[in-house]
Amino acid sequence: MLNIVVLVKHVYDENQLKVDRESGKVNFEGVPGKISDFDRSALEAALVLRSAGGGKVTSLTLGPEEAVKSLREVMAMGADQTILIKDQSFYKMDAAATARVLHRALEKAGPVDLLICAEGSVDSYTSLLAPMLAEKLHLPLITYAQSLQVKDGTVRAERALEKRVEVVEAKLPAFVTVTGEINDPRIPTLLQIMAAMKKPVSTFTLADLGIDPRDLGAGGYRLIEYSAKSRERRRAMLEGTVPEAVSKLVDSLAREGLVS
């Protein structure tokens, strides 16, 4: 019986962000939230392990009340249990503060065999949380897993690195971050969606975890502002017959070092 905990994050839907073209300022007002894309892959990985060897999948998030929507989504996909640490100021927290909160929450939630999260969240994509949290929990950490197996108390993963694949193992309990390539997350049925709406969500506040929110900001970094970077596309027309244009294209790609 594996106890798997999957960390998920409720983020702004980046497709619906409004950017002021002049100033580059990003307007978050009225932008709906969604589950961070690769978190669904993390959950899918957990569900696959559960169906192979049995166990329980718990999903944990830190966020505002609205984050319950993401938890409902993971319940529709098949998570057995979900926990929301409700806090309106979470977006001001840096990864260290978030790791502190999640650390406390995991201690409260009971023993964990395998902790899984995505390699990064689609909003800030710092990829800092997992190493920080692993350190606090004294768990071995495997990052960028593109495949995952659990056997005889050991987790084995293929790590997708830039030019090679590493196969690594760790004894459970362990912490794994997965890439989006690890799987194709399942799409829930209407029946599963309707059932998920009726399931309970355990909710904690920072006070329940014995954390004073004023302590969290101290010593960490502070996000002051977001602005969008725009990049003009280079428009190039290649003249001539198709074979001529193709060889010009190949030449220019080679000059850029994009093909060799």
Partner 1 sequence: MVFPLAELGDYAITFRPEHEMFRKVVREFFEKEVEPRVSEIEENDRVPDDLLKKMGEMGLQGIAVPQEYGGQGGDQVSVAIFCEEAGRVYPAIMTLVGVNGLFTVPIMLFGTEEQKGRYLPPVAKGEKHSAHATTEAGAGSDVAGIQTRAERRGDRWVLNGRKAFISGGDIADYFVVLTRTSPPPSRKERWKGLTFFILEKGMRGFSVARKMNKSGLKGSPIVELQLDNVEVPDSNRLGNEGDGFKIAMETFDHARIGVAAQALGIAQSAFEKSLNYAMQRSTFDRLLIQQQAIDNYLADMLMKLVSARHMVYWASCLADAGRKEYLIAASMAKAYATEAAEFAAIKAISIHGGVGVVMDSHIERMLRDVEITKVYEGSNEIQRLVIIRQLLRQTLGFDPMGI
Q: Which is nearer to partner 1, 6 or 74 (CB)?
A: 74
Binding mask 41-70 for partner 1 (x = CB under 8 A): ----------------------------x-
Two tokens at 165? 């694949």
Report the phi/psi class of residue 95: left, alpha or beta, with left for phi > 0 and alpha for psi in -120 to 50. Answer: alpha
Q: Which is nearer to partner 1, 66 or 208 (CB)?
A: 66
Q: Is 167 in the site for partner 1 (CB under 8 A)?
A: no
> Which residue among 1, 167, 191, 237 contacts partner 1 (CB under 8 A)?
191
Q: What is d(CA 82, CA 84) in angstroms, rounded to the nearest whole number?
A: 7
Q: What is d(CA 203, CA 37) in angstroms, rounded to the nearest whole number?
A: 23
3 state DSSP class of 256? coil
> Which residue among 1, 167, 190, 258 contacts partner 1 (CB under 8 A)?
190
> Which residue among 9, 10, 50, 72 contacts partner 1 (CB under 8 A)?
72
Piece of 71-79, 95-103, 149-157, 211-219 that binds partner 1 (CB under 8 A): 71-79
Q: Which is nearer to partner 1, 126 or 189 (CB)?
A: 189
Q: Is 10 in the site for partner 1 (CB under 8 A)?
A: no
- Which string of DSSP letters, residue by residue, matches 192-246? HHHHHHHS--EEEETTTTT--HHHHSTTS------B----PPPP----SSHHHHH
